[in-house]
Each structure stands twice: as C-alpha cells, then as structure tokens.
Chains A and B, each alone.
Chain A
C-alpha cells in the first residue's frame, strides 16, 4: 500500500487497530469509513483500498459507498472547513447568496479547497438550527442569521487565526508565551 509509506504509518495503524477491535466485520463499512475520514481528514484511493482489504470487500463496493454519501470526501478538506446549510429554512432565507459570497471571496466553488489549504467549501442539508437560518458553519462553529456582508469578516478572522498559528509554529521551542 503506497499510502503506508508516506508518513501515514501511524494513521494506518490507528485505523487497523479500530478495525481489529470490531466484534464483527460485517455491515461495518460506513462506520469504518467514518473513522477513517476522522483519522485522515478525507478518503483517498489508498485508504479505500486498505479498507476493502481489511473488511474483505471489493474496492468498487467501498468506492460506491464513498460516492453515495455526501459526507464522505475524496478531496482533503481545508484547515477551516466551511459548510453552508441549504436546508429548506436556510434556503428560503437566502443561503444560496451566502454560498455565492463565499465562492466569490475565496475563489473556489462548492467541493473545492483554496490553494493555500486554509478553506474548503461544502453545502449540507439542515443542521437542526432552522431558527437561526441561514446558517454557516466554519470549523465546527455555527454562525446564524447570516447576511452575505458577514462573510468577509468571518473569513478574515480565520485567516488571522491561521497567521497566528503560523507565528506560533515559528516561535516553537524558542519560548515567547510568557
């Protein structure tokens, strides 16, 4: 497995341990894919081949399930994944304008990642916060009653965060945080 050799050894080990811990391998594909996406951040071809081998399924079957559920992705997500809810309530309150605004600011379309790897954009169906419609989620944080004009500020905030953590990295081992 080529994926095993490019610094992913620990991740594959973790996935293997999870699979080994299953009482029964039958009917576990979706759970395993969920776990794998949690570990790797996405489901590249090598990971799918690994899972097929470990569960005794055909690679085609695994791929079929990955392609059916919109939750699963073969494209790595950004550091700050953005999801815009397109459920009925959000949609009627202008969620598509939010999507367009994000696309415009980031220069990507739904399903893509920015070249710097910071942001990815997806849409989803109802997060159960219809009272806050339209809703946008960035890296797990929910922003409610969104207006297109709010988007720029939120993205700038996360960009700044990314900058900070880069600085953190730069000082690592030197001291600073006094």
Chain B
C-alpha cells in the first residue's frame, strides 16, 4: 500500500493506483473529461489528452494529470490551488475556443460533459474567443450522426471501437485544428466496417457522436389519420427509461412505459418480449435440431450455434468472419421477428394492407436503426419495422407530449403481441438469451418440466464466460461473450481449437448486453448503473408467472393459427434470414 496526502488528508491506496483513484477514495472529485473507467468491463481510456484533471504535486515542476499519474509513497498533492484552477480554466477556454457554441440546439445539451465543466467552472467569458474553428463535413448514417466540429479529441470513441470492440472503424486523423476521429479514407461511417453498436456514442463526452434522431417521424406517423401505428419495446428499455425521469437506476417502469405510449397515441402498445419468446421457439428448435443431428453422427452440422439477436454482432461477423456465415442461427432478431409478424399476421387480423401499418420499435440500441433499414427486411420497399428509436428518444417524446411520467398508472400491453414470459425479459442482459433458450431446449430434450428455471451459472458480468449443463446424458457446453472484443477472443480460440467444443454461444455487442446499449440513458462511466439494470431485469423475470418461452399462450396460439411449427415453411419465410459477406475496411 502507498501512503499519500491529498489536500491535507491522508489516504492509503494500492500500488499502481492513480492520483485520481486516491482522490476518489477521499471523496475529492477531480474533474475529468477524456478519462473513462468502466473497470469491471475492462474499459479504461487513459489518453490524458484533455488535461482538465491536472493537480499540483509537491516537488514536481509541472502540473500532473491526475488520471494518468501513479501515486508514490509520501506524495503531497493539491487539487484546488490557484495555479491548478487557473490551468483548468485555460484548458477549458482553449477547448471551447474551437467548439461550436450551439448548445441550445445540440442533441447532447444537458448530457454534455463539456457543458457541465463550463458550468462548474463558471466560465462567463473566453480569453481565446475567435480562434480557429474546424469545419469538417458532417456524416449521417442510418444509426449514428457525426459532427466532428464538436470533437475534443478525447479518444474515448477510439478506445471503445478499437480496443474494446476490436471493430477498428475509427482512428484519429490529421493534425492540429484539422484533427478529427474518422473512418479510413474519411469514408462515411455507413460504408465502413462500423457495426453501429453505438458504444462510441455512449461514451462521447460532447455532441460529436449522437444517434440519428427519428422521434419526429414517430410524431408524424401518429398524427397521420391514415396510419395504424403500433409500438414494440425491447426488454432493456423498461430497466433504464426511469433514469431519464430522475428515478434510481434499476427502477422497473414497464407499466408506466405502457401507459405513456398509450397516452402518446399509439394505436397498439405491444412488446418486443413477445417476439423474444418467438425467437426462442425458432432458435431453440434450431439448436435442438443441430444437436440431435450432431449426436446421430451427421458430420455436416455446424456447431456451436451462435445467437443472432444482436444486429451489431451480426454486422461484425459479416465483416470479420465472412467464412463463418453458416454458423450463426438463421433466426431473425426479436425486433425483426416482431416486424414480420406485425406486417403479416397482425395486418391480416386487422384487415389492413401492410403499407397502412407503421411499426415503431423502442430499443436500447443504435444498431437496430440500421437493422430495420437492411433491404432484406422489407417487402416491396415497405420495411417490416418502419422506425426504430432509442430509450433516450422515447424519454424525449414523453416529455414533449407533456406527460408526467412519475404519476402515470401501471398500464399493460395489448393483445395479441404483448404477452411475454420471464425468459423474454432476460434477453436484455448478457447471458439472458442463452438462459431463455436453455429453459426451453432442456424441457424439449428431456420431455420433463424443469425443477429450477434459474440457470445462475449463465449469469454475471464477466466478459467471456462458459458453463456446462447436464441434460440427461448430454453435457451442454455453453459460451457467453459480451463486447465484440470478447466475442473475437472466443471465436479465435474456437478456430484455433484451443477450447473444448461448444454447443451454443451467446454474443451481445454491448457491455453488459442490451442494458448497456448505445441507445440507453448515458451512464457517464458509472458501472454501477449497468449492474443495477441487470438486477432489475432478473427481478422482472422472477415476478412473471410464466418463465419459459414455449409456455407463452399467445405464442402457442400464433403457431396454431398461423405459423404451424418452429422451423416450418411459414416460419422459415417470415422469421429466418441470411447473412452477407462484407468488406473489411
């Protein structure tokens, strides 16, 4: 342990800790901007490029960046001397001298770390006003909008894209005032290797990277008397939406959310959870089919089966593993299954053409915006899912509609696409999809009801996990990875044959799964928020009377009335998809 003194207080911290860590332990909050530490997920950005965290260290000539300076025995640190405050003010003034001052119309306003700092430092004028301003072209993809004039070169997005996700879409280019973070050859993000996971957006401290906002299109659709507008909400949304209204992280707002959507004027308030149960029917059947064929000696079977619910993960393997396109499950994601069922089964039931039906999805995700725009998910140019908005956009819509969210009654979803089980809810967290699939697959394999539906071995927040489950004579070997870098590690080890063969692997692109998605309320580096959302998801599961997808009565009815059986002809047509080879730039 190392002893040091910060602002007159003594503290003991482990060797290797930074001044910032030590100060935190004392309750001294040194401001940071480029720094990002999601320690439990192995995400640390230590660029030390912004210099807002500088402190005075006795005996050191220059100021030290607290985020990147390791503590030493007997160190004496001052975090709030005039010299320090003056340096911070200068840093801030210089940053703002090359930053557009359009806070009033900026998508990040109110959530912007730079704006918060300007406020905290009471900046009322800028000595460096009128300095050079970069004018980089704006880049708008279906999911992410880049405005590099607002970039402060903190490199957090690069850390997420290159180190954590190993996607490699972004890099710092050029120098000085022309320096920006951009894809190779300054190509639009849409043409690059980007997966639209949105983790760059989740950590961007300013408005340089934001989601493409479709909330106005939702307002227009609802206002159109010729349209029937239905909404589906992903499982992770209900565990985070409350944060936008000042509620504690981990507060479940399922009922209030349903009420809010109804008040906003949606004709039907449905649930993506319904489609998650449907996904398990198809993916579970596929898993079972591959395993039984494998066990009976069919050498052509590709195992492990990889989940395909996450559109960022799908785009990732299309770019990075084009030789493995036949390995993932062919099942569409819940969002797209919902869209296909709504535009066919529901439209038929309502007696309207699919063009009259508008399907809106509320997702914790930015890649879902891209996914619903993929051409294979449209019929004659009419997409199965018309508009995908994030948890954040929904919160804005609720506020714009003058709805007092906190006082809303507990509403419910509509029938028939609103009923769901606990298995569907846990899709929102890492390990959840495979646990849901296991609940169903094991019962189908053994023909006996489960004693305990809680497969706790599959839960947790570790990046790469594995578990072995005894099912009759078979030992199911299951792998789980969240964050694409961990997925890559797992896939590479399978390719190299250094791990025992798996039967099934679940992959989610975002830290913690969808609860940590790029469309969720900003966590500002607070890991505890993601943990609390996961707990909320499991609470919702436990509170459900039915916790196995194949016991969802409306799913059973859907198969009886419409689909036939899992992997049947109609299912194949509506609920399964195929993948494309994509370039690696």
Binding site for B on A (CB under 8 A): 45, 48-49, 53, 57-64, 67-68
The 8 closest A-B pairs by CB, nearest first: A58-B168, A64-B171, A60-B171, A59-B184, A67-B173, A60-B184, A63-B184, A59-B585
CB 8 Å contact bits of B166-201 with A (1 = contact, 0 = none):
011111111100000011110000001100000000
Q: Is the interface of B mostly helix, strand, loop or mixed?
A: loop
21 A-B pairs (CB sep. < 8 Å): A45-B185, A48-B184, A58-B162, A58-B168, A58-B171, A58-B193, A59-B168, A59-B584, A60-B162, A60-B168, A60-B171, A60-B182, A60-B183, A61-B162, A61-B168, A61-B171, A62-B184, A63-B173, A64-B171, A64-B172, A68-B174
- The closest CB in chain A to the CB of B194 belongs to A60
- In the complex, the answer to whether B172 meets A68 with C-beta atoms within 8 Å is yes
Interface centre among B168, B170, B184 (most CB of A within 10 A): B184
CA distance A115 to B475 in the complex (A): 70
Q: Is the interface of A mostly helix, strand, loop or mixed?
A: helix
Interface centre among A53, A60, A63, A68 (most CB of B within 10 A): A60
- Which A residues touch B170, using CB under 8 A? 60
- The closest CB in chain B to the CB of A48 belongs to B184
CA distance A57 to B162 in the complex (A): 10
- In the complex, the answer to whether A58 meets B169 with C-beta atoms within 8 Å is yes
CA distance A22 to B160 in the complex (A): 30
Interface size class of B (residues with CB under 8 A): 10 to 19
- Which B residues touch A53, using CB under 8 A? 584
Other CB < 8 Å A-B pairs besides A58-B167, A64-B172, 19 of them?
Answer: A45-B185, A49-B585, A58-B168, A58-B171, A58-B193, A59-B184, A59-B585, A60-B162, A60-B168, A60-B169, A60-B170, A60-B171, A60-B183, A60-B192, A61-B168, A63-B173, A63-B184, A63-B185, A64-B173
- In the complex, the answer to whether A68 meets B168 with C-beta atoms within 8 Å is no
- The closest CB in chain B to the CB of A53 belongs to B584
CA distance A48 to B173 in the complex (A): 14
- The closest CB in chain B to the CB of A68 belongs to B175
Q: Which of B167, B169, B173, B184 contacts A68 (CB 8 A)?
A: B173
CA distance A45 to B167 in the complex (A): 19
- Which A residues touch B167, using CB under 8 A? 58
Interface centre among A61, A63, A67, A68 (most CB of B within 10 A): A67
- Which B residues touch A60, using CB under 8 A? 162, 168-171, 182-184, 192-193
Q: Smallest distance from the beta carbon of B157 to chain A beta carbons, Å?
A: 12
CA distance A95 to B478 in the complex (A): 68
- Which B residues touch A68, using CB under 8 A? 172-175
CA distance A61 to B170 in the complex (A): 7
- Which A residues touch B183, using CB under 8 A? 60
- Which B residues touch A48, using CB under 8 A? 184
CA distance A134 to B172 in the complex (A): 34
- Which B residues touch A45, using CB under 8 A? 185
- The closest CB in chain B to the CB of A61 belongs to B171
Q: Smallest distance from the beta carbon of A110 to chain B beta carbons, Å?
A: 15
CA distance A30 to B186 in the complex (A): 20
- Which B residues touch A64, using CB under 8 A? 171-173
- The closest CB in chain A to the CB of B182 belongs to A60
Q: Smallest distance from the beta carbon of A57 to chain B beta carbons, Å?
A: 8
- Which A residues touch B182, using CB under 8 A? 60
- In the complex, the answer to whether B174 meets A67 with C-beta atoms within 8 Å is yes
- Which B residues touch A59, using CB under 8 A? 168, 184-185, 193, 584-585
